[in-house]
Amino acid sequence: VTVDLVIFTLLDADLKVLLVRRREPPFRGELALPGGFVRIGDGDLPGEDLDAAAARELTEETGLPARALYLEQLYTFGEVNRDPRGRVITVAYFALVRPDLAPFVVAGGDADAAGWLSVGEALGSSLAFDHRRILEKALARLRQRVGDSAIAFELVPSTFTVAELRAVYDCIEGVENDAGNFRRKFLRLVEDGVLEPAPGKRLTGRKPAAVYRFRRQPRGAAGSEEEIKKHDLENGTVL
Amino acid sequence: VTVDLVIFTLLDADLKVLLVRRREPPFRGELALPGGFVRIGDGDLPGEDLDAAAARELTEETGLPARALYLEQLYTFGEVNRDPRGRVITVAYFALVRPDLAPFVVAGGDADAAGWLSVGEALGSSLAFDHRRILEKALARLRQRVGDSAIAFELVPSTFTVAELRAVYDCIEGVENDAGNFRRKFLRLVEDGVLEPAPGKRLTGRKPAAVYRFRRQPRGAAGSEEEIKKHDLENGTVL
DNA sequence: CCAAAAGTGTTAACAGTACACCCATGG
DNA sequence: CCATGGGTGTACTGTTAACACTTTTGG
């Protein structure tokens, strides 16, 4: 049993995925998703949970603490012949790296030249094993999550402007959101205490834009309204 | 590696799950989800895909052809100590049995007294392994799917009335839908060719109700409109 | 006739969409 | 002063939710 990771980030308004070039057969020299075997724990070696294995691989491949990243189980692929070495079942995970952390990602241990590749290009080129299918599944999950949960905040620096968040949506949904309408939805989140103004201005365009940040714990007493808000952040529709 | 199945049906306006009583240790005599080991295929025995293993177990436990049932991968549980026998990772699947087929379900091979238990009761009683957590996850998935795909048709006989389908939604969402409003949404599906009138009337209440059936392949030329419809049935919002 | 469920109508509130517009500022 | 992007207003649309209403039937 292995875990494979689909790690996304957003650079230059383009969705990127972290791929490695395999140094060992099978598929030596080809592009693949980072991953590795789950420590089962025979005898005296302690085993690890699946989530722990995914977090460990994530840290190994990115050099970033897993706690700072979004990580979620994606799907398990277990076709008989997906690995020429024999029967290998892989639990795929799906991770997001905030773009301000992406430059710190360095090549991992068991693979050459880890690197961010544009998802479009990755889908165009050939990948090892059934990793193309895994990537497609991850992409579908990402779009779903962006549509119905607050996951987009994981693809933006810790403080951001309305336009920056809008760019994330534009890029992932592949459409161009109306600036005015998007702003209104955004401000509703501020009203609801999901976001809050942050100090400073962003000097990106001509006119400086207001900067916001995600509010980790909602303000006010934990009334029923806040409960709902928490639920929304985890499962519900936000933007 | 095992597969475990969470098999739901709807009887007497109550959501039921299929549980078995274990005949072997560990957890002998306790209630558990049906499941079994995946055939890996060492040596000359052929292995099986995960989906195939789930379908096989599903047929073994229910006596019904898997083709007639809804089956979808749910989540993979791999905590180190979830099975006292050693390291066992389980891929949980989620299945639906139409209520008109539920009475034909008989006890499976490796377990006593398979039976439909009310989900409320099942969550109240203790289950083997981490099966309670799996059941909770399945319930969450069911509610999600009912909300955003056409899965409810899998919990209704092949022909049904507006009120019968509404009862499915009421039961799973735990709310009472307005009869009139529900009817309008329902009729929109008929307009769109997703449903079609079926011959006969249902004599359930005082006034006989019209009967409908699910339309497997949409009518008309396969234009772009039909493509969208197909997409909706698979992924999108329907009711 | 009456109860009960099928089926219809009406309306207010709300969210999404499109698009026109004002405002502030760096060059 | 002007182009650019931030930020605002507004009218139109379709969907939802609440609820009152008519119709049809078996008992």
Cis peptide before A34 (omega within 30 of 0): no
Q: Which of B40, B50, B76 sits opposite A50 (nearest CB)?
A: B76
Nearest Cα of chain B lies from the Cα of A56 at a distance, in angstroms, of: 15
Q: Which of B49, B89, B91 sits opposite A79 (nearest CB)?
A: B49
- DSSP per position, chain A: -EEEEEEEEEETTEEEEEEEEE-SSSSTTSEE--EEE-----TTS----HHHHHHHHHHHHH-S-GGGSEEEEEEEE--TTSSTTS---EEEEEEE--TTTGGG----SSEEEEEEEEHHHHHHS-BSTTHHHHHHHHHHHHHHHHHHSGGGGGGS-SEE-HHHHHHHHHHHHTS---HHHHHHHHHHHHHTTSEEEEEEEE-SSSSPEEEEEE-SS-SS---HHHHHHHHHHHTS---
Paired with A93 in beta bridges are A5, A73
Asked if B28 and B116 count as a contact pair (C-beta separation under 8 A), the reply is no
The residue type of B210 is A
Q: Which residue in this structure is represented by tokens 């205490």?
A: A193
Asked if B47 and B41 count as a contact pair (C-beta separation under 8 A), the reply is yes
CA distance linking residue A168 with residue A3, whole number of Å: 28
CA distance linking residue B90 with residue B228, whole number of Å: 35
Q: Which of A47, A76, A80 sits opposite B91 (nearest CB)?
A: A76
CA distance linking residue B73 with residue A120, whole number of Å: 27
CA distance linking residue B30 with residue B26, whole number of Å: 9
Cα A206–Cα A207–Cα A210 angle in degrees, nearest 5: 135
Tokens of A30: 């080809």
Give pLDDT, residue A239: 52
Nearest Cα of chain A lies from the Cα of B171 at a distance, in angstroms, of: 20
Whether the pLDDT of residue B238 is over 90: the answer is: no
Give pLDDT, residue B1: 95
Please indicate whether, in this complex, the C-beta atoms of B91 and A75 are within 8 angstroms of each other. no
- DSSP per position, B133-191: HHHHHHHHHHHHHHHHSGGGGGGS-SEE-HHHHHHHHHHHHTS---HHHHHHHHHHHHH
Give pLDDT, residue A25: 87
Please indicate whether, in this complex, the C-beta atoms of B87 and A41 are within 8 angstroms of each other. yes
Please indicate whether, in this complex, the C-beta atoms of B73 and A73 are within 8 angstroms of each other. no
**Which residue is nearest to the C1' sugar atom of D23, using CA?**
B207
How many residue pairs bridge chain A and chain B with CB atoms within 8 Å of each other? 52
Question: What letters, b where the CB count within 10 A reaches 16 and e where it falls short, cover A40-71?
Answer: beeeeeebbbbbbbbbbbbbbbbebebeebbb
Spatial distance from the CA of B208 to the C1' of D25 (Å): 7
Nearest Cα of chain B lies from the Cα of A113 at a distance, in angstroms, of: 30
Give pLDDT, residue B111: 54
B47 touches chain A (CB under 8 A): yes
Give pLDDT, residue B117: 93
Asked if strand D contacts A162 at the CB level, meaning under 7 A, the answer is yes
Q: Mutate which of B2, B89, B141, B142 to disrupt the A interface (most A C-beta within 10 Å)?
A: B89
B205: nt with nearest C1' to CA: C5
Restricting to A residues 70-99, those with a Cβ less than 8 Å away from any Cβ of B are 73, 75-80, 87, 89, 91
Nearest Cα of chain B lies from the Cα of A72 at a distance, in angstroms, of: 11
Distances (CA, A) of A54 to A7, B51, B165: 11, 23, 41
- Nearest chain B residue to A147 by CA distance is B236
Give pLDDT, residue A23: 87
Paired with B90 in beta bridges are B2, B77
SS3 state of residue B224: helix
Asked if A116 and A106 count as a contact pair (C-beta separation under 8 A), the reply is no
Rg (CA), chain B: 20
Tokens of A125: 């080129």
**Which residue is nearest to the C1' sugar atom of C25, using CA?**
A207
Please indicate whether, in this complex, the C-beta atoms of B38 and A91 are within 8 angstroms of each other. no
All residues of chain A having their beta carbon less than 8 Å from the beta carbon of residue B40 are: 87
Spatial distance from the CA of A209 to the C1' of C23 (Å): 13
Whether the pLDDT of residue B106 is over 80: the answer is: no
CA distance linking residue B59 with residue B44, whole number of Å: 24
A217 vs B87: which has the higher pLDDT: B87
Cα B179–Cα B185–Cα B190 angle in degrees, nearest 5: 115
All residues of chain A having their beta carbon less than 8 Å from the beta carbon of residue B78 are: 1, 38, 49-50, 91
**pLDDT tens, residue order, chain A (239 aa):** 999 999 999 998 899 999 999 988 899 999 999 999 999 988 788 899 999 999 999 999 999 999 999 999 999 999 999 999 999 999 999 999 999 998 888 655 455 666 899 999 999 999 999 999 999 999 999 999 998 888 999 999 999 999 999 999 999 998 999 999 999 999 999 988 889 999 888 877 678 999 999 887 655 544 444 444 443 444 444 55
Other Cβ atoms closer than 10 A to A10 = 22
Whether the pLDDT of residue B233 is over 50: the answer is: no
- Nearest chain A residue to B42 by CA distance is A87
Residue B58: exposed, middle, or buried by beta-carbon count in 10 A (0-12, 13-18, 19+)? Answer: buried
- Nearest chain B residue to A76 by CA distance is B76
Q: Which nucleotides of C are covered by protein (CB under 7 A)?
A: 3-10, 16-20, 23-26
Asked if strand D contacts B203 at the CB level, meaning under 7 A, the answer is yes
pTM over cut 0.75: yes
B237: nt with nearest C1' to CA: D15
CA A213 to chain centre: 19
Q: Which of B40, B73, B144 sits opposite A76 (nearest CB)?
A: B73
